[in-house]
Amino acid sequence: MAGVTDTVFRRLIRDQGGCGLIMTEFTSSHGVVASKGGRKPTRTFRYLYFEPSEHPISAQLFGSDPQVMADAARVCQDLGFDAVDINFGCPVNKVVKCNGGSGLLRDLPLVEQILRQVRSAISIPLTMKFRAGWNDRELVHVQMGRLAEDCGLQAVALHPRTREQGYSGISDWTRIAELKSAVGIPVIGNGDITTPADALRMAAETGCDAVMIGRTASSNPWIFRQIQEHLATGTCFQPTDHDRYALMKTYYAMLGDRGEADAAGKMKQFATYFTHGIRNGSRLRVAIYQSKDVSAIMEAVDAFFDNELQAVA
């Protein structure tokens, strides 16, 4: 979710209700330590910026140097985060080449060193997210979970695809069930949850203690509220085009309030997500992509919904 879950998006999610814990974009531990030393203060700490309304919030770190990871986790604790999460799941080449993310799934002794040093460096909860393994022949999800438990982590989250799969294919939820059976700490399931029914089915099939949602939240920020309502009543809120219009206006206004340097760029990026499911949404996307600045984008959004909402009134 790099480039997506910044403070503005996280607050938008929090405002929709239902989300128990939110997490930052994954952040380089080396960048955190260097920034703390005053050498690169802006870019990395923008990733870690959060507002009081975002609590509870976890800082997500990646890296492969145990001492640097421990130092970065200590910085996050000092910044006021409620927890630290270590990312052993990212499959992106530039991260894996540096032995970060899922690259560490091939070096469990180093994983253990990182976990022990980070755990000893902070007093707030420590969790980790990981994939099932490097490929289907090198599955390590059970070993990773047991390592986490042995090292004193409070919970683990499993995305059951392998690094080799990337985001293709189907998540094998049986691996989440295997992990849950192997450890005593809470297990969070992740992968291919696109509807409230999916979340309930994952919990029923795997016994997981919670679910984590990433990509679906981009196009459906109401997913957490929907899961909570579906769990309680069997039915849930279904957003109308009016709701999507209000959401876009709210998000775009929040970008403006924050003074984002590339607010127009962010608006264009999120137009792809937020127009999902809108009647004639492709027309709105084209209008937004062709707009040159923030005011033109806002005018395009207002004009589109004025026409579309009148057409269905």
Q: Active-site positions?
A: 90
Query: Quick one: which H or E segment has residue 115?
Result: helix 108-121
Q: What is the DSSP letter of 16?
A: H
**Cα distance between residue 194 and residue 41, in whole Å:** 37
| Buried-exposed string 254-277: b where 16+ CB fall within 10 A, e elsewhere | bbeebebeebbebbbebbebbbee
Tokens of 229: 């309502």
Q: Taking the CA of residue 143 as centre, how many other CA atoms within 13 Å lie in the half-sphere pointing to its CB?
A: 13
Closest to 83 (Cα-Cα) out of 4, 23, 2? 23
Residue 126: phi and psi, rounded to 5, are -120, 130
Short-list 90, 83, 96, CA closest to 56: 83
Q: Are 162 and 133 in contact (CB under 8 A)?
A: yes
CA distance 100 to 148: 17
Provide the CA 92 distance to its chain's centre, in angstroms: 15
Residue 303: helix, strand or coil by DSSP? helix
- Hey, what are 129's tokens? 């997210």
Contact 64, 104 (CB under 8 A): yes
CB 126 within 8 Å of CB 83: yes
